[in-house]
Each structure stands twice: as C-alpha cells, then as structure tokens.
Structure 1
Amino acid sequence: MSRFTPVDLSLYPISDVIEALDFESYLARDRAEFTTRWEARRVTNPALPPIDTLLLESDPASVVMEVGSYRETLLRGRINDRVRALTLAGALGRALDHIGVTYYRTPRREIVPAIGATPAVMEDDETYRQRLALAPESWSTAGPVGAYLFWALSASGDVLDVAAYSEDEGVCLAPRIRVVILPRDALTVDQKAALLVTVQDALSRIRLRPLGDLVTVELASDLDFDVTAHLKIRQGASAAIVVAEAEKRVRQYCSGRLRWIGDDVPGPIWLIGRRMRQATIAAAALGTDANVVEVSVPDPAGDVNPPDPGYTEAALAGVGSPAFVPLADPITAHLFKAPRLGNVSVTYELVAESWS
C-alpha cells in the first residue's frame, strides 16, 4: 500500500573520514603542548619566565597558536569538502556531474533548452542526486518500480514527479502498468499532451522494459489546497521573523521535497499520491523555534488527500490470486492526485509564557 520510495541519502552518514571541526579543541591541544615544551626548556634554563599569561588574548604566543589552530581548521575543512565531493550524497556541481556520468552513465537533464546565447537550464543538484540513486533500478531486466520512475524522470526535464502502479496497488491487473506523471508548472495543454507521448515512448522501448508489460502513461490530477495556521508566540520575540520562518517551513513540507541540504536548496519532488497531514503541517510550522509556544490548525482531522476508507490491507489481500479484481476507481483515486499548495496564512498572538 505504500508507494515506492528511493533511498534518502540524507539519512546516511557520508563517511567516517569526515571530521567534525573543533577550533577550540585544536587550540587547547596546542596550548597544552606549548606549556609542556616550555616547562621542559625551563628545566635546563631556569632564567626563562614561567607561563602565566598564555590564556590572555593579548599574549603573543596565544595569538600565534590561535592562528595555527585556525589554519588547521581551514585545512581540515578543505579535506572534508574534497572527501564529500567523492560521494553521491555530498558531491555538488561538476563533481556530481562527474559521478553521474562515470559511475551511473546518467547525465544531468535539461530543464530549459539553450536558445541562442542563452545557456540551458539544468536540473538542480538535489533532483539529479536522487535520480542517480534511482539509476541502478533501471539496470534490472525485471522491470522494478524504480526502473519505471527512473526512465520516466529521465524522459524529459518537464517531468516533475512520477508514480508507477499495478496490481500491488489494486489499480489494475498485471501485467498492465499505469505510470502517472506530474508536469512542471506553466505547461500548456498541448505541451502536456506532448509530454505524455514523450514519456510513453521512453517506457515503450524494448530495451527498457520487459516485453510483457503493457504500459500506459497518464497525468496526475492537481489537488489544490490552502494552509491556515495560528501561532502562539512568546512575548519579546520578533513576531514578523517567527511568522516568516514558520511559513517557510510549511512551504518546505507542502512542496513535496524528499530532502534538502542547507537553506533554500530545492530537492526532488514527491507529490503524487501523497497525504498531507494537518498534524505534520502544524509540526512543520512549529519546527524547533523556542519562540513558538503552540501551533493550531483549523481542522486537525482534515488531512489533504487521505485514502478512501475502503483502501485497506484487507481489500488488497487477494493481490496475485486469479480471483483478484482491481478496486473501484473512487477507492484508489488518492493515488493519482497531487496535492498542490496554494495560499499559506499564518496568524499569531503574543502570550506571556515563561522560559522555564
């Protein structure tokens, strides 16, 4: 009953080679070493002064050690960056292109083709990274779900999201495969029709799929929704900043991104068939902001795109048996919908809440 989800690279550590940088520990180590060596010199030359100002920032020896520790921090950081650039989870830009082409034989997609002197707009690092993680799925000759997702996403830069369903989801009888795509925004009706043909052609080549699969490609239906949240904010906090950050977190969750690295870095999209829970939206608005005491939503039970009550494990228990009959379209309708966020309204009130 769960849609196939590719590995989320953000959940795994890159490598034990990556070190946590700690300037203060380097400085403390160097001070201890300096003290040991200086006292050893004083044993042979008692005329040397004792160390009693080493922790003062004005002491020349302290300044020299701070410079050395700072340079060591920079050097270790550069080594960390070089190691990250060798991994699929951490590579960026050209380093990611190199990994994609040499190890996965998968170049970056064009989102907008080059026109004259205007260079092409290529897919962003996070979307490309997640597609590369899917690439090994396409190497199988058995036609796994991940293979359909990979080839559909690779067919065109206008494909924003893909889902593939068959008998396991109760929507049709195998060997029929229903591939659902979500086009990028701003495509015209004619462009969407052409995109369907492009993806259908990509999935119908004999070299890409088992001959027994009957593949059809269709468009996901947009499910527009708005979000309203009310915050209780501690007195003394900047309400405008808190509200803006809460709205940003809500948009991040509701955009359907699987992962993102750093601030404002978009990732791959997962919207088709997704259920947007009001409780999770409220949790996103709350985040880890200590200035937010409480978040409420108008209708906690009003989840966006919930499954039909008839879409249960019991209803799918007969999958694979000769007697199994696909479920009625209304029962599986949620699998073909893509929640699309509209307006976000975040209101607030200030409350006198203690920090204890």
Structure 2
Amino acid sequence: MTDYIANDLDRSRLSLPKLVDDDYDTIEAERLAALKAGYEARGLGWDTGQTKWEPGVILEQHDADREQRDRRSINDAVKAWSIDDTWGEFLDVLGAGVFCIRRVIGTDANGNPVMEEDEEYRRRIKLAPATLSQAAPGNYEYFASSVHPEIKHARIVGIDGPRINLALLGRYGDGTPSAGAVAAVHNYVYDAANHAKLGTDVPQFTGAGVLTYQIAVHLLLPRGPSKAAAIAEATTRLQAMADRRHLLGASVGRDRIQANALVAGAEAAVILSPAADIKPTLGEVAYCTDIAVTAEVVDV
C-alpha cells in the first residue's frame, strides 16, 4: 500500500483549456478581414476599414462584442465543469457522477438543513474514486470524512504494515472531535456490511492534535485612511485566512499572515505574533485563539 497524495494536489493552479479564443481584438480583426474579403470577392474595393465612422466597421465592432460575450460564455462553461473551479449546483452534479452527495452537517435556528460548504464537499469528491478499491488509502479518508457530520477533515498520518493511522478533525471549537464522532467512524468502517475496509487492514482513528497560536499585527498607515476601517478589514481577512487553514497538516506562514494583513492603503504590516511559521504535522491542526490588530499613522 502506497502513500496517498491527492490532498497535496492543487489542480486549480493549472491553466484551464479554452475551447475558443475570446480576445476581442482577435475577433474584431477576423471579422473585418472577412468583411474586406467579401467586398473584394464581389469586385468592390474597400479601403476605409480604419475610418472611425465607417458603417461596416461599426457593425463589425458591435458584432465582435456580442461574439466575445458568446465565446466567454462557452469558456465559462468549461470552468463550471472543472472540479477545482466550479461551485454550487454544478459541483453537486460533479459529485453525483462519483456517487458523492453534499452532506447535511446540521440545522439552522429555523430547523432548516445546513449543507457542507463547497470546499469541504470538493475535497470529498476528489477522494470518492478511491472507494472503488478497498486497498486504496484514500478509501479510508473518504469514509472517515463522510460518515459523521461533525468530522470535516480526515488524513492518513502513517501506514505500518496492515496498521493505518488516521487523524480526524472536528467541525467545532479547536477541532477536537467528540468521542461519539470518532466511534461512529470506527464502527462504520469496521462494519463488514459497508465494504469500507480491506479484510487485512487495521485502520485506527484518533482526534487531531491541536497547535494553538495567536495573531498580532501592527499596521503602519499614511495620513488619510481610517484606522478603524483598516483594522476591521485586516481582522476580517485574517480570521478568514485562519478559518481556511484550519485543516489537518495546513501550515500558517508569517508571509501568509502579512499578505492578508496588508490591506489597501497600508504602508506596512508588522507581524508581532506568531514569531515563526506554524507547521503542524499531518495529524495536527493549527487553531487561532486570538487576532489582535493595531495601527498607527506615520509620515511617509
């Protein structure tokens, strides 16, 4: 059994294919060339193609604009069916193609179901093909992250012969899953009726280890921008970043913190904490317990 690396692949960084060229200048040039060729084929000279108010040019420019919109719609359709770029109902259809449906992870104040977010659902869709073989390590990651709504992420942290160790990340608080959620995953995988485990494998499930950290940033602002607005925006962006990185094995680098803290108009963002990059192991999660942003106005 080999290590499974699908979690480390980021296909969204690959360029998407374009079915058609949607560059306006190219489309306009093609249409004007075709118009000129049509005139010449009928024995008519046409040397006013660069005249601003030439009626034929104006019509072709309007048509080129409409054609560009059509071509962009075609290329957007390509993106909609790329798993790393699609969203919402498009993602639901892709998931259904590998028999992976979006989970209900709770209910809101009115009793309406709360569905898992796109990114979480996307991770499970990528793992779903591994369930076609019980011998695939990704098979265990898929079931571990699908069985109980409290579990939002699962990763294999080590393989030693038949023993397969998996860490489970909880949805609430710092990410420590409840004993009931861990037991539910264990019972499901070991139930022969679910065909989720190879007979000789011994998967073991444990809760994620938690590395806590705090973010403290000091912004240097020129005269003009509102300190309160800059602090609020930086805090919001840093919290969103911390939430996105609340995954097993996801590091939180100081450069990432600085990039999110450096809001529009700020001259600099000085990171006071953490003192070094936060680097959890595959079985650990980085959990931010506090975000403090201060600011001062400086002469530049």
Bin for the TM-score computed over the shorter chain = 0.7 to 0.9
SS at match of 2:186: helix
1:255-278 CA distance string (max 9 Å, x none): 235xxxxxxxxxxxx523444233
Count residues in correspondence. Answer: 294
- Does 2:14 align with 1:12? yes
Structure 2 residue 52 is the aligned partner of structure 1 residue 55: yes
Using a 3 Å threshold, how does the CA distance of structure 1 residues 275 and 91 change in structure 2: closer, same or farther? Answer: closer
Distance in 1 (CA, whole Å) between partners of 2:164 and 2:209 is: 18
TM-score normalised by L of structure 1 = 0.66
Q: After superposition, where does 1:253-268 map in structure 2 within 5 Å?
A: 253-257=241-245
Tell me if structure 2 keeps the 8 A contact 1:221–1:338: yes
| Matched residue, 1:199 | 185
Partner residue, 1:107: 101
Q: In the alignment, which residue of structure 1 is the partner of 2:206?
A: 218
Q: How does 1:1-356 map to 2 (within 5 A)?
A: 4=5, 5-17=7-19, 19=21, 21-27=22-28, 29-30=30-31, 36=36, 44=44, 51=48, 54-55=51-52, 64-102=59-97, 104-112=98-106, 119-144=112-137, 146-166=138-158, 174-185=161-172, 192-206=178-192, 207-235=195-223, 243-257=231-245, 271-286=247-262, 291-299=265-273, 301-304=275-278, 306=279, 336-353=283-300
8 Å CA contact 1:6–1:133 kept in 2: the answer is no
Give per-residue Cα distances to partners, 1:16-72, cap 9 Å, x unaligned.
4264x43354345545655x4698599858xx9x8498436xx76565444322211
Cα distance per residue 1:267-295 (max 9 Å; x no partner): xxx523444233432244348x5x44432
Instruction: Label 1:13 to 1:336 Cα distance change in 2 as closer, same or farther (>3 A).
Output: same
SS of the residue aligned with 1:142? coil
- Describe the SS at the equivalent of 2:200: coil
Q: Where does the alignment leave 5 or more consecutive residues of structure 1 unmatched?
A: 168-172, 258-269, 308-333
Considering fraction of residues, name the structure with more strand. Answer: 2
- How far apart in 2 are the matches of 1:52 and 1:147? 62
SS of the residue 1:14 aligns to: coil
CA–CA distance in structure 2, aligned partners of residues 126 and 18 of structure 1: 28
Q: TM-score under structure 2 normalisation?
A: 0.77
Change (3 A) 1:52 1:44: closer
Unaligned runs of 5+ in 2: none
- Contact 1:96 1:125 survives alignment (8 Å): yes
Q: Contact 1:143–1:209 (CA<8 Å) still a contact in 2? A: no
| Alpha-carbon RMSD | 3.9
Deviation readout 1:173-194 (Å, 9 max, x if unpaired): 543333221221269x9x9232
How far off its partner does 1:155 sit? 0.9
Q: CA deviation at 1:160?
A: 1.7
